[in-house]
Chains A and B, each alone.
Chain A
Amino acid sequence: DSGVTQTPKHLITATGQRVTLRCSPRSGDLSVYWYQQSLDQGLQFLIQYYNGEERAKGNILERFSAQQFPDLHSELNLSSLELGDSALYFCASSVLAEHNEQFFGPGTRLTVL
């Protein structure tokens, strides 16, 4: 158990819908990362927050957005969902903003029908 929690574990929805994925980092970790893992794209870095502020952006679509709240939990919002958005979404946390070990949550499996 990494100490990072993600909800929900599984999510099934339809094209065009909007969903919110939630992540609670390990106690004491200030940095949160979001990743998308799919068979064809592999593990893709989406976005990173540090202590409430966006720090780095990766291959995140404009239909996706994220935020980190004052209690340090984070949410990833996915809108206008497409079939290709079906993937595993991981959240990871670390103590500092860079170079530290990342602790990964168990992931949320999103299926878009």
Chain B
Amino acid sequence: AQSVTQLGSHVSVSEGALVLLRCNYSSSVPPYLFWYVQYPNQGLQLLLKYTTGATLVKGINGFEAEFKKSETSFHLTKPSAHMSDAAEYFCAVSEGGTYKYIFGTGTRLKVLA
């Protein structure tokens, strides 16, 4: 069965510092992987997704993620944090044939001035 683990429910970084949010997944077949962001009082919106092909995926707002099959990971990074990046970030996996999305428990990112 597929599952998603996000390490760290809260992450704090200084403005201008590297952002690294961790996501590990479990899937019996090649997964489709997603990162979503949720700003306060809003629904989720897609940051980026991996389906097939290039393992380094670029998304909106300067975020990118790398699919590493050997590590079953899909960590989200951004070279330089901005105050506007403060939000909750969700990793999700979709497994072929199940039609289900499984979301991680979320990581709340705080950006310090």
**A58: B residues at CB distance < 8 A:** 100
Name A's interface SS.
Answer: strand
Give A92 to B98 CA distance when docked, in angstroms: 17
Total residue contacts A-B, CB cutoff 8 A: 56
Chain A residues bordering chain B, tally (CB within 8 A): 24
Name B's interface SS.
Answer: strand
Closest to B102 in A: A45
Interface status of A83 (Cβ within 8 A of chain B): no
Interface contact A97-B99, CB-CB below 8 Å: yes
Interface status of B94 (Cβ within 8 A of chain A): yes
Using known A-B contacts A43-B103, A45-B103, determine if residue A99 contacts B43 with beta carbons closer than 8 Å.
Answer: no
Chain A residues proximal to chain B, CB less than 8 Å? 2, 4, 33, 35, 42-43, 45, 48, 50, 55-56, 58, 90, 92, 97-99, 101-107
Chain B residues proximal to chain A, CB less than 8 Å? 32, 34, 36, 42-46, 49, 51, 90, 94, 96-103, 105-106
